[in-house]
Amino acid sequence: MAEENESETDRPDPAGIFACAMSLWEALRAHAEADSGMDLSDCFNGIDSLMRHVMRIGQEFEAWSCSHIAFSELD
């Protein structure tokens, strides 16, 4: 549960999580298309497992960003 004194910019944003996950997903797909021997489904025990990893990474990156970047200081 979020602390009461936590500002909006200190909390993970679902849109940020989704954007990170989409960027990673697109990069993985582009890499797999360029490497004809790579099967993402085989690499990650199914596409659903891959998507869980992608979403977890998006959540971790967004949480890291919120704790290390002063968004209120950016234009």
Q: What is the pTM assigned to this prediction?
A: 0.75
Q: How far is CA 26 from CA 30, 38, 50, 74, in A?
A: 6, 15, 12, 27
Residue 51 has pLDDT above 90, yes or no: yes
What percentage of the chain carries pLDDT values higher than 70? 87
Q: What is the mean pLDDT of residues 69-73?
A: 84
Rounded to the nearest angstrom, the gap between the alpha carbon of residue 58 and the centroid of all alpha carbons in its chain is 2
The tokens of 18 are what?
Answer: 């989704």
Residue 72 has pLDDT above 90, yes or no: no
